Amino acid sequence: MATILITGANRGIGLAMTRLTAQRGDTVIATARMPDNADALNELAAETGRVAVRALDVTDEASVAAFADATTEAVDLLVLNAGVLNAYGGLGDPAHTAEAWREVLMTNVAGPFLVARAMLPNVDRSAGKKIVILSSIMASSERAPGNAYPYRASKAAAANLARNLAAELQPRGIAVGAYHPGWVRTDMGGGGADISVEESAGGLLGRFDALSMATSGVFEDYRGQAIPF
């Protein structure tokens, strides 16, 4: 059984991945910005006895440092899932403010970087040695329709981050991948999205199991279909 760390685990795809991994017998370190308000996650922790809920804001260096101090376990699989989307519009979208850019880039790009760096010793001494980043098909420059600028740019950078981490961590035997979870019915994806959190989480976990040093650097969706950078 593995130890899996999942960021942004209090709702959406992160919560579903936490549920599935705890149900299959893994130990899960599940993070939330506000653990005291994470009702569904706390219930899951009480039900299964396999989930440790810890505070983490991925944009805040002090929070990342405190989380790293509290997290002494070896981590077989680090799932960098926490993310935000601001708005879908084009250049004229008033939601694309400098503050929105800061929040989206800090959360979706700097966040995975800061947490991966802080957790590297924990991943290094595990048997599993894997780091995965939730990017999006909206990252793909080959499929750029001209909108949702901060989110698309942030997820392109997240895929780039995964690719660079794969290269730097190759000599240490740590495999890294970037993933599109599908268009999923969550607060972010909306009620009209294609698939449930269960289908997405199940598919993603299968792809994380399949990740190896031979496939490190991959960018693919929850069914294993390659996504063009």
The 139-158 contact track toward ligand NAP, x by CB under 6 A, reads --------------------
Catalytic status, residue 151: yes
Distance in Å, CB of 20 to ligand NAP, minimum? 14
Q: Are 6 and 17 in contact (CB under 8 A)?
A: yes
Q: Are 15 and 40 in contact (CB under 8 A)?
A: yes
- The half-sphere exposure of 193 on its side-chain side, counting CA atoms within 13 A, is 18
Measured from the CB atom, is 13 or 119 closer to ligand NAP? 13
Please state, in angstroms and rounded to a whole number, the distance separating the CA atoms of residues 200 and 48. 21
Locate 135 and state its tokens: 């990017």
Task: Please choose, out of 22-30, 45-53, 160-168, 183-191, the segment that lies near ligand NAP by the rule CB under 6 A.
Answer: 183-191
Please state, in angstroms and rounded to a whole number, the distance separating the CA atoms of residues 88 and 152. 9
Identified catalytic residue from 88, 149, 151, 179: 151
Instruction: Determine which residue in the list 3, 71, 81, 140 makes contact with ligand NAP, applying CB under 6 A.
Output: 81
Which residue bears the tokens 């440092």? 65
Instruction: Determine which residue in the list 2, 44, 45, 57 makes contact with ligand NAP, applying CB under 6 A.
Output: 57
Q: Are 2 and 27 in contact (CB under 8 A)?
A: yes
Binding-site ranges for ligand NAP (CB under 6 A) = 7-8, 10-14, 33, 56-59, 81-84, 107, 111, 134, 136, 180-181, 183-184, 186-189, 193
Residues recognised as catalytic: 151
